[in-house]
Amino acid sequence: MSADVWLVVGLGNPGPSYAGNRHNAGFMVLDVLAGRAGGRFKAHRSRADVLEGRLAGVRAVLAKPRTYMNESGGPVKGLRDFYKVPVERLIVVHDELDIPFGALRLKRGGGDNGHNGLRSITKSLGDKEYLRVRFGVGRPPGRMDAAAFVLKDFSAAERKVLDLEVDRAADAVEALLTGSLEAAQNEFHAG
């Protein structure tokens, strides 16, 4: 593959016990994108499940690391190197505590804001200038520990609109693939 391919990575934890967790929002979005691309994920030697195809008319590799969230960097670097994707064409979809549920924020670069998956990716790549689709999960209630909160399933109220929010995040990824970051921000930051 060459520089015209994009790498879209969804962050989460492997296994059915984590499937509905807030921390797995990235995996949920990638599953929707896989459906849109009309393909299925297959195991890749980089320790990730991968789908190569077209998304919104653009060549893309969709990936879900098979490692735990805190170790996402190794598989992401492996995929980036294998497919020779420049960091400018890497999109990472992840949960974000500092954004309310139902809101998305798109950006390039920045810190990890305490997100261990992002910290691992930035450390492995030696570069933080990749695109991020930040899926708001909100802050934990009361004094609940943030780590415990993200490892809990979405609430019943959240699950009523979760499919819609996941779809909207998938739309945001496609907007990044086909247009500019600024145009995508203008479209998706309103919500």
Give catalytic residue positions.
23
Q: What is the SS3 assignment for 139?
A: coil
Instruction: Give the phi and the psi of residue 143 in degrees, each rounded to 5.
Output: -105, 20
Q: In residues, how long is the chain?
A: 191
Q: Are 7 and 88 spatial neighbours (Cβ–Cβ below 8 Å)? A: no
Q: Are 149 and 21 spatial neighbours (Cβ–Cβ below 8 Å)? A: no
CA atoms within 13 A on the CB side of 49: 18
Distance between CA atoms of residues 89 and 72, nearest Å: 17
Q: Are 74 and 47 spatial neighbours (Cβ–Cβ below 8 Å)? A: yes
Distance between CA atoms of residues 169 and 173, nearest Å: 6
